Amino acid sequence: MAKKEYASYLVSLADILAAEQFPGFEEARRTFFSTGDFNGLNWLGHLIDMEGTLYLYNRDEKHLHSCNKALFLLFEVQDDLICEKPVFAESGNTFIEAVKGSGFTKDYTVMPVIEIAFSFGPALKTLCRLFKAGVYNAAERARIEKLCICEITSLFNEAEWGTHNRCVLRGVMLNCFSEMFPENAMSEMAANLSKRLFEQNVGRWSIEDANGYSAIWINALSEYIVAKGIWHVSVDAVMGYYANYFASLILPWGGFPEYGDSRFDMGTDSLLALSAIELVAARHKDGFLKYAAEKIFKNVSENKTLDTGFQATRGLTNALLWSDDGISPTEPEFLSCEALCDMIGKKIVYRSGWDKSAHYLMFNYRDIGPYGRLGRKYLQKTIPVHAEKPHHGHADEQSIAALCANGAVFLRDGGYRDAFTTNGHYRADFYHNRVIMRSGRMFKEKGLIEYAENIGDYLPVTTEKLYFERFSFAEVSRTRLNNPCVGMDCDRSIIYLKDERVYIIIDSLRALTEGPRTTGVLYFAETLQSVAEGVYRIEEDSPEGLYMFRKDKDELCAGSRAGTGAKQSLLVAFAGRDRAYSVEEIRRNYRTEQGLSQYVSRYFKENEFYNFVSVLIPETGNSEEETTAARARAGNIAASLSLVPVEGGKCVSVSLAVDGSTYTIGLKNDDSFGIADLNARPVYTYEAGKAGYGEFETDALLLVGRENGSDVRYALVEVTQANFRKRNLFAAKPYQNLQMDYSRKMGVCSWGSIEGKA
């Protein structure tokens, strides 16, 4: 995005903020002095950031004047706070006298007058840049120093460390203070503490797993790296990773999905991530990142996604200064992808295109991770949110965090904090589009959520990717979740039929020990209805639900969200008619939603496998006629769905018919099926590992077969042989395996993944 467009938008935001807030300044000041609530004054810090940055960009004195006007108001509040004269003539009391017995215990001479990290932090960052530009004289600097001491002192009393947002926010402020006031008695301590805090963050992976807080972290980290000029191999690697990570996650229209403590498509998150994307794009002349930045910014500005109007500007002011107008945006050639790996990101995006009407599914299988242990352990001891996956994460492993099509939103995460919940309740596993597992059996409960609902602590699980493969007609993934607390594991396989725009979700559960278990798959919606046994229709999310926190909510809620003129929907069809279903109300996304589940509550044998299969079919169109036809099509697909256990449940066969094609999915629940003898090599034989799936026979870990008359296609993952109607499709060639006794034994080498036509 061009700098002038960032600047134009920033000017409009600053003007709106000033017009909205200046008239209420006196009332906000009174509230502060009567209750100690400084939130009504926080906007002054953001206005300083915006106007000061605009001055640095174009050197227009009017912006410096506006910046100083906000700054002087903070001076006035601080002067009233620490002086001995009455604050308000009618009260006859000084502030110190007024607040006696009200719970204030601070030294009022160093009491902050606005919130520190999120509101004064942006102002301090910009004031530091203005200092370096030689804007203020000695007397002005001395007065600013007095204000900064007031805000910065408390940071020395807050033990915030680790690779997460609160640590780097604190570190940035301490670094700015030390650079601005090198002669101050606290300067050396501030510099040293800032250095130690960033020692844990520069070139390291974040322990956050929340879209909004990850964006805060990468933005603040970027500010420090730019201020210090730190660029080396690990910094480039980490910064490049996270810039591309965010870029690969963007929704079709340019927003961000929600995972962890975040909200869906919020402008705050978008603009904070935008700054790092622009920084890395400029450093590496990266056209894709420039394309992503443009898409993100246009969504914020044109679709009015800001939730507060000013909180997000910290990222926007950085993007203005860091962006490079010489880079041409380049739409990427790739579509579905991992974002960005199976060690740190642990997210997979299925995408049909980059236009706003594209189909999009984001899958999150991120667990806590095997790094940043001390920081995570410290957070678990200090943050009173027992259900949190540190940091700011939810128990959302193997959940579908977003599913969108043709501009409509069908599935999304459960929201951030809500006054109707307690103790981080909203972070628990039963709030997400995923499989949940519990020990024991249901008795009188009417549904799975009623049985599974608890507050409790976050119970760690581990996840790993088995594969993610892209074929010409299908894209597939499989991840594994191990839950030692319940004694089960679950593999979630997602098969995306590209031409048909159909998602097949196969959940393969295994009981690691014998005993009673209750388990099921959950999907959540604002509105849903039952269509037939095991078949449900989810309506697209309403504008009222999606735009709840938008500043222009009333304007945005007028008309269709997707702009199609038709109400679109998602058909959810479950295979297997021997299971129970429930639809239960639950507080989610700051409203009452419907929780849909297919579940079982029964006794499991040791190493017994069990499958849930659900098919998700977007019913989209740009008119009522088109959506009606799409619903009829989806109903036919649902009616054709079947699930058959194979080889005593060690494998499973799923079939369905779509638009004249018959699809056969063959899946090994047990990925060790076929191993003959671990004491000899080769340990595996085709005869021991083969299974029949309709007309197909193969030992593949996964088969996706498509039949349409004489046109037969297949895609295979980890395979040595495949046959169709007893005719060989593929066979790996034999190889000789040298044993430890130097004898040679014939074996067969499996292939990672292949596809072909019969």
Residues 702 and 611 in one domain: no
Residues 507 and 609 in one domain: yes
Rounded to the nearest integer, the mean pLDDT of the chain is 90
**Contact indicator for 593, 643 with CB cutoff of 8 Å:** no
Q: Is the pLDDT reported for residue 454 higher than 90?
A: no
Tell me if 532 is assigned to some domain: yes
Residues 569 and 717 in one domain: no
How far, in Å, CA of 690 to CA of 395, rounded?
A: 36
Q: Is the pLDDT reported for residue 619 higher than 80?
A: yes
Residue ending a domain, choose from 161, 191, 214:
161
- Please report, for the domain that includes residue 472, its CATH number: 2.70.98.70
Residue 378 is predicted with a pLDDT of: 84
How far, in Å, CA of 465 to CA of 613, rounded?
A: 19
Q: Is the pLDDT reported for residue 34 higher than 90?
A: no
Could you read off the pLDDT of 196-219 as tens digits, one per residue?
Answer: 999 999 999 999 999 999 999 999
Tell me if 145 is assigned to some domain: yes
Residue ending a domain, choose from 585, 618, 641:
641
Residues 515 and 416 in one domain: yes
- Widest CA span in the chain: 101
Residues 657 and 579 in one domain: no
Q: Domain containing 494: what range? A: 384-641
Residues 416 and 503 in one domain: yes
Of the pLDDT bands very low, low, confident and very high (cuts 50, 70, 90), residue 93 is: very low
b/e per residue 57-95 (b: at least 16 CB within 10 A): beeeeebbebbbebbebbeebbebbbeeeebeeeeeebb
Residue 534: how many other CB atoms lie within 10 Å: 18
Per DSSP, 242 falls in state H
Please compute the mean of the pLDDT values over residues 143-157 and round it to a whole number: 89
Q: Is the pLDDT reported for residue 482 higher than 70?
A: yes
The total number of structural domains in the chain stands at 3
**φ/ψ of residue 470, rounded to 5:** -115, 120
Tell me if 328 is assigned to some domain: no
Residue 97 is predicted with a pLDDT of: 52
Per DSSP, 430 falls in state G
Tell me if 622 is assigned to some domain: yes
Residues 676 and 531 in one domain: no
Tell me if 273 is assigned to some domain: no
Helices (H) and strands (E) in the chain, counts: 20, 29
Residues 586 and 698 in one domain: no
Residues 517 and 578 in one domain: yes
Per DSSP, 284 falls in state H
Of the pLDDT bands very low, low, confident and very high (cuts 50, 70, 90), residue 620 is: very high
Q: Is the pLDDT reported for residue 101 higher than 50?
A: no
Could you read off the pLDDT of 426-450 as tens digits, one per residue?
Answer: 788 999 999 999 999 999 899 999 9
Q: Which of 72-81, 495-504, 697-706 has the lowest mean pLDDT?
A: 72-81
Q: Is the pLDDT reported for residue 628 higher than 60?
A: yes
Residues 477 and 461 in one domain: yes
Query: Distance of CA 143 to CAs 112, 140, 577, Å?
Result: 15, 5, 74
Could you read off the pLDDT of 565-578 as tens digits, one per residue?
Answer: 788 999 999 998 77
Which residues lie closer than 8 Å to 86 by C-beta, 6 or more apart?
A: 92, 93, 94
Residues 503 and 564 in one domain: yes
Q: Which of 482-496, 664-678, 737-751 has the lowest mean pLDDT?
A: 737-751
- Sign of the dihedral defined by the CA atoms of residues 597, 602, 607, 609, in that order: negative
Tell me if 15 is assigned to some domain: yes
How far, in Å, CA of 547 to CA of 303, rounded?
A: 11
Rounded to 5°, angle at Cα 161 from 160 and 167: 70
Q: Which of 109-113, 303-307, 377-381, 508-512 has the lowest mean pLDDT?
A: 109-113
Residue ending a domain, choose from 109, 144, 161:
161
Q: Is the pLDDT reported for residue 336 higher than 50?
A: yes
Give me 596's structure tokens. 């849909």
Q: Is the pLDDT reported for residue 103 higher than 50?
A: no
How far, in Å, CA of 525 to CA of 723, rounded?
A: 42
% the chain with pLDDT above 70:
92
Element (H, E) at 529: strand 528-532
Q: Is the pLDDT reported for residue 290 higher than 70?
A: yes
Residues 584 and 686 in one domain: no
Q: If you average pLDDT over each of 100-104, 367-371, 711-715, which comes out highest?
A: 711-715
Residue 563 is predicted with a pLDDT of: 59
Residue 740 is predicted with a pLDDT of: 64
**Contact indicator for 350, 360 with CB cutoff of 8 Å:** yes
What's 590-622 look like in SS3? Answer: CEEEEEEEEEEEEEECCCCEEEEEEEEEEECCC
Could you read off the pLDDT of 636-665 as tens digits, one per residue?
Answer: 999 999 999 999 999 999 999 999 999 999
% the chain with pLDDT above 90:
73
Axis crossing angle, helix 61-82 with helix 43-58, rounded to the nearest 10: 150
Tell me if 298 is assigned to some domain: no
Residue 84 is predicted with a pLDDT of: 46
Give me 481's structure tokens. 């979740």
Give me 459's structure tokens. 């119970």
Tell me if 20 is assigned to some domain: yes
